[in-house]
Chains A and B, each alone.
Chain A
Amino acid sequence: MSGEAQRRVWGVDPPQGAGRGLSLRAERVTLGYGGRAVVRGLDLDVAAGEILVVVGPSGCGKSTLLRAFAGLLPAVSGRVLADGEPVGGASADRALMFQDDALLPWRTARRNVELALALRGVPRRERRAAAERWLGRVGLGDDAGRLPRELSGGMRQRVQLARTLAAGPRAILMDEPFGALDAQTRASMQRLLLDVLADAPATVVFVTHDVDEALLLGHRVVVLGPAGVAAEFAVPASRDAVLAALGAGDQLKEAV
């Protein structure tokens, strides 16, 4: 990898290629299910191309917020905007990677990864090649023909990552995407995500319980509490230097 590309992968501020990412905005948004509010009057801005990590106790509405940004859950009050336009429903621009197993169980790993391309009408041979490439990148090149039930939880999670990234979304909403992975695979998936973002910039809202992961991936970390944003931190741009000093970059490269 060239020095410039290295910078683009690990560089933090300002985000590269911000023009392709969507800006997301929640304006005094209240969200809930069946009359029970989970998020009340939340204000949150995500800049185009930014990686925003959301942490917070269980039940504080992190997943609910992602569903609202994805357009799967209409706001009870307030507005949810993408690039300044109100979010009216789900769209391939805003892909949501779910915490739970969201693969279609009757489709093989490859056909799951193909899904977004199939929905867009990409010809079979082309989308098949793309899906196999993405499965290779998440380390599952040999498992393309297997059904979800034949894969472990961690492998299914990686297929879902491949499926989300293959869609080429402008905003990627990730709900504890690497929770089911072992430490080494998790590190290689984090690295893969940053690599992909370097090539195809996108806005990322990333929910996690892991503070190390939050600091490694995020440009900014938001702590969500019962009363909205409880605290907010910009992650200093010296991350790449720290990682280089630790030799983590090389370790991760081997893991990939």
Chain B
Amino acid sequence: MNGLHRWPVRVASLLAAVAVWHLATAADLRLWVRFDRFPGPVEVVREFGRQVEQGQFWQDVAQSLVRILSGFALAAVLGVALGVATARSRWAGDLLQPLFEVARPIPAIALVPVAILLFPANEQGIVFITFAAAFFPVLVSTRHAVKALPVVWEDAVRTLGGGRWRVLVRVVLPGVLPGVFGGLSIGMGVAWICVISAEMISGDFGVGYRTWQAYTIVDYPGVLVGMATIGLLGWLTSASVELAGRRLTRWLPREERS
């Protein structure tokens, strides 16, 4: 189906959800779930309009973005590097794999106390938690992608005169990109969950901190503005990752791209 024809459906889906929300709150609906004290879209949009005119809103957005982008960039670089290393070197695998397997099941948000103990500044702790969240999806998907590489690509480069290092740069790194981007997409998602949660627990700024702050002063429209902001930022960053992934993996056969 043509992409242009699909947009009206997508927009209509969003508008329908907003319309249901508006009707439910306007009618003070109480059907087990209660909408009588829930702010409606009009209130939220008005509050949003008020906030975007203030410097604080943009400061919070910038702060959260800096945190997530630093944590995510660290996770992407180390996740790919260590994923390739543990998959291709028995030595690195034996050394690091047990450590990763033990650390992986720990939810990143449970690391908040650890982060507070370890890092002198709050800021570094939050970046660390974001990093920990995004790191494992990237690591695991890179490992799987390396293991799934067709042997014939590596063999071809070796019989054309490529050594271990050349094979790494010319075969492994480009070849694992489709798998790596799968991990990066998931990593971006969990990174947002963790940066917001960490900000709610220990931040002084940031969208998560502001959202929790609004809740404690019973500013419900403010809470929803925070959530909408998180939603928009998350969508924007995920879409960037998707776009970069599609750009870099144009060579994939069509049925694998979609």
Which of A's residues lie within 8 Å of B, judged by CB? 67, 70-72, 89-92, 94-96, 98, 100-107, 115-116, 119-120, 147-149, 163, 167, 173
Contacts and interface: CB of A to CB of B under 8 A. Distances in A.
A216 to B, nearest CB: 25
Contact of B160 (A71, A100, A147, A163): A163
B160 A116 contact: yes
A149 B249 CA distance: 12
B253 interface: yes
A115 B160 contact: yes
B157 A147 contact: no
Contacts of B174: 104, 106
Q: Which of A67, A94, A149 gathers the greatest number of chain B CB atoms within 10 Å?
A: A149
B232 interface: no
Interface stretch (B99-107, B120-128, B148-156, B200-208): B148-156
Contact of A96 (B159, B175, B249, B250): B159
Interface of B: 152-153, 155-162, 166, 170-171, 174-175, 177, 249-254
B165 to A, nearest CB: 11
A184 B174 CA distance: 36
Given A104-B170, A104-B171, A120 B161 contact: yes
A94 B160 contact: no
Contacts of B175: 104, 106
Interface of chain B, main secondary structure: helix
Given A70-B155, A149-B254, 13 more contacts: A72-B159, A91-B159, A91-B161, A92-B160, A92-B161, A96-B155, A101-B152, A104-B175, A106-B174, A106-B177, A119-B166, A148-B251, A163-B160
Contacts of B153: 102, 104
A29 to B, nearest CB: 19
Contacts of B254: 149
Contacts of A101: 152
A90 B158 contact: yes
Interface of chain A, main secondary structure: loop
A149 B160 contact: no
A189 to B, nearest CB: 19
Contacts of B177: 106
Nearest to B254: A149
A32 B158 CA distance: 20
Contact of A115 (B155, B157, B249, B252): B157
B252 A105 contact: yes
A149 B161 contact: no
B157 A119 contact: yes
**Closest 3 CB pairs between A and B?**
A92-B161, A90-B158, A106-B251
B251 to A, nearest CB: 4
A94 B250 CA distance: 32
Contacts of B161: 91-92, 116, 119-120, 167
Q: Which of B153, B157, B158 gathers the greatest number of chain A CB atoms within 10 Å?
A: B158
A115 B174 CA distance: 14
A98 B155 contact: yes
Contacts of A167: 160-161
B1 to A, nearest CB: 22
B251 A149 contact: yes
Nearest to B162: A119
Contact of B251 (A92, A94, A105, A116): A105
B129 to A, nearest CB: 35
17 contacts: A90-B158, A92-B159, A98-B155, A101-B152, A102-B153, A104-B174, A106-B175, A106-B177, A106-B251, A107-B251, A115-B156, A119-B157, A119-B161, A119-B170, A120-B161, A148-B251, A149-B252
Nearest to A163: B160
A72 B252 contact: no
Contacts of A173: 159
